[in-house]
Amino acid sequence: MKKILMVTSEAIPFAKTGGLADVVTALSVQLKAMGQDVRILMPRYYHIDRNSLKQVDGALGIWLGKGEEWTAVYEGSLPGVDVPVYFLEHERFYGRDGIYGHRADQGFEDNAARYSLLSRGAFQLCRMLHWIPDVLHCHDWPSAPACYLLKKEEQYRGFDKTKSVLTIHNLGYQGIFSLDDAVYLQPETDMLNLSTLEFAGALNFLKSGIITADKITTVSPTYAEEIKRPEFGFGMDGLLNYRKADLSGILNGIDYSEWDPEKDEYIKPDNFSEKRISGKNNVKKRLQQEMGLHVKQSTPLIGIVTRLVDQKGIRELFEPGTGAVYSICKDMNVQFVILGSGDAWCEAELTTLSKKLPNLSVTIGYNNRLAHMIEAGCDFFLMPSRYEPCGLNQIYSLSYGTLPIVRNTGGLADTVENYNQETGSGTGFVFDDLRPDVLYNVVRWVIETWESRKEHIRNMRKRAMRKRFSWENSAGDYLKIYEG
């Protein structure tokens, strides 16, 4: 049995901005089921209700360069599972709305301090609990510095048997700050020796982890290869090549207790399965009604649920004047239902588009119920990402027989098999270039298939629903990494 501490900025049901939150929780639940002693540490953001948690006796003093910060610790657990979740309580750093910023596109100015506190707090917490983990599993830039601190100092202070694993969920976010902020992670006497923390003249949290973690993983095999190349490396490709012997890709699973059309609470009473698909038509009808679209079974309905950021291909889809979706909606017999939040220009443009186009419905915001309805009720799900480390939505779509239309990159390439018009094989539609004209043509191909090869669509649906991306295999692969 391994003792594993997940250090993270997000975990469902407590805090989520994207797939990271789903993955940390689902992986922890599975590791627990496999007999591991797994625990989670995260900040107690303001919106996490203290009344549902219990305070751990004692406080943590955490040295943060310019002085010591005091934090209380609260303890809860993942719902229905005996996985302890520890929450760092710090009014000045976490007692505000928002996780990384008030808005998704603007980080808080003191994020370097906020997440240095989390990384340093991991070690203080373990000391207080008299529980020294075998594995410190860090996720993305917010906890990457814990890998650095382990190598730099904590291995000499009782953590000599602890190994670190850094999982990169998204290389596009690195935690880049002013070099002055290095003081939170490095004694001031050592400021001349910044090579591990510095990149291109700035402090870089993720880089510190890439250099120092014992093992590095990312969330799909294809992405693990892509990030060693300059087009996908965001400046880190050289270092990742240097670390390639310790770098691997483990595909995310999904939580089938939440994303299964047979059990999904949000689509009741129209639950369906591969063998009894009729409920899917009812969900489609309800979705069209709710979203103010013309209710018609024969019109293909395409869903999008996403953070509205460049990574997801929003420029090629929606940019005023050039984006593909406007012409698709004008020229083709199709409907779109879009749910998302993110970059301000895109939210505004989508709102404008929805007023101009009767076959496009837009909901700005975050809405889990609607995300389930869209996954279940649509015929197709569009995800034309520039890059995609894994992507969960296309896997949810497969589970609901909602055929994904995806770019040939990262986890999308690893989870969706392209349709073959000759044989009818495949589980979705895969294309290479991210350009508005390509998007336009792909959607036309999809609609033609929908109209003239109904049998192929029916069979692809069944095939998609039979695919399983469960956590058992992936958690087993993580265990192998932990064992070194």
Stretch that binds ligand ADP, among 227-235, 296-304, 339-347, 420-428 (CB under 6 A): 339-347
Residue 364: which H helix or E strand, with range?
strand 360-364
Contact flag: residue 391 with ligand GLC (CB under 6 A): yes
Determine the Cα–Cα distance for residues 286 and 92; give it in Å rounded to an integer: 45
The tokens for 56 are 């751990």
Stretch that binds ligand ADP, among 78-86, 145-153, 223-231, 305-313 (CB under 6 A): 305-313
Determine the Cα–Cα distance for residues 371 and 340; give it in Å rounded to an integer: 9
| Nearest distance, CB of residue 201 and ligand GLC, angstroms | 26
Q: Which is nearer to ligand GLC, 71 or 170 (CB)?
A: 170
Q: Which does 368 bind (CB under 5 to 8 A by kind): ligand ADP, ligand GLC, none?
A: ligand ADP
Contact flag: residue 390 with ligand GLC (CB under 6 A): yes
Window 359-388: residues binding ligand GLC (CB under 6 A): 388
DSSP-derived 3-state class of residue 306 = strand
Q: Which is nearer to ligand ADP, 155 or 368 (CB)?
A: 368
Question: Cα-flanking dihedrals φ and ψ of residue 340, to 5°?
Answer: -175, 165
Contact flag: residue 368 with ligand ADP (CB under 6 A): yes
| Total number of residues that touch ligand GLC (CB under 6 A) | 14
Contact flag: residue 306 with ligand ADP (CB under 6 A): yes
Determine the Cα–Cα distance for residues 434 and 387; give it in Å rounded to an integer: 10
Closest-CA residue to 319 (of 381, 384, 366): 384
Contact flag: residue 367 with ligand ADP (CB under 6 A): yes
The tokens for 268 are 């009741």
Q: Which is nearer to ligand ADP, 139 or 207 (CB)?
A: 139
From 234, 266, 366, 440, residue interacting with ligand ADP (rule: CB under 6 A): 366
Contact flag: residue 20 with ligand GLC (CB under 6 A): yes
CB 474 within 8 A of CB 27: yes
Contact flag: residue 406 with ligand GLC (CB under 6 A): no
Cβ-closest position to ligand GLC? 19
| Nearest distance, CB of residue 149 and ligand ADP, angstroms | 26
Contact flag: residue 169 with ligand GLC (CB under 6 A): yes
From 170, 212, 335, 415, residue interacting with ligand GLC (rule: CB under 6 A): 170
Q: Which does 324 bind (CB under 5 to 8 A by kind): ligand GLC, ligand ADP, none?
A: none
| Nearest distance, CB of residue 465 and ligand ADP, angstroms | 18
Q: Which does 219 bind (CB under 5 to 8 A by kind): ligand GLC, ligand ADP, none?
A: ligand GLC
Residue written as token pair 């896997």:
395
The tokens for 406 are 């995806």
Closest-CA residue to 318 (of 282, 351, 359): 351
Contact flag: residue 413 with ligand GLC (CB under 6 A): no
End-to-end CA distance of the chain: 14
Q: Which amino acid is at 435?
A: R
Identify whether 221 is preceded by a cis peptide bond (ω within 30 of 0).
no
Contact flag: residue 221 with ligand GLC (CB under 6 A): no
Helices (H), 201-343: 205-212, 221-226, 230-233, 237-242, 278-290, 314-318, 324-331
Contacts of residue 137, defined as CB under 8 A and 6 or more positions apart, other chains included, come to 4, 5, 6, 7, 164, 165, 167, 482
From 7, 12, 23, 291, residue interacting with ligand GLC (rule: CB under 6 A): 23
| Nearest distance, CB of residue 24 and ligand ADP, angstroms | 11
Q: Regarding beta strands 335-342 and 202-204, do their DSSP bridges make them parallel or antiparallel, or are they unpaired?
A: unpaired
Contacts of residue 175, defined as CB under 8 A and 6 or more positions apart, other chains included, come to 111, 112, 115, 141, 142, 144, 204, 205, 206
Contact flag: residue 392 with ligand GLC (CB under 6 A): yes
Window 113-142: residues binding ligand ADP (CB under 6 A): none
CB 22 within 8 A of CB 471: no
Q: Which is nearer to ligand GLC, 143 or 271 (CB)?
A: 143
Q: Which does 371 bind (CB under 5 to 8 A by kind): ligand GLC, ligand ADP, none?
A: ligand ADP
DSSP notation for 156-175? GTT-TT-EEEEEES-TT---
The tokens for 338 are 């879009």
DSSP bridge pairs for 168: 218
Contact flag: residue 307 with ligand ADP (CB under 6 A): yes
Binding residues for ligand ADP (CB under 6 A): 18-20, 22, 305-307, 339-341, 366-368, 371, 390-393
Q: Which spans of this chain sit near ligand GLC (rule: CB under 6 A)?
A: 18-20, 23, 169-170, 219, 252, 388-392, 411
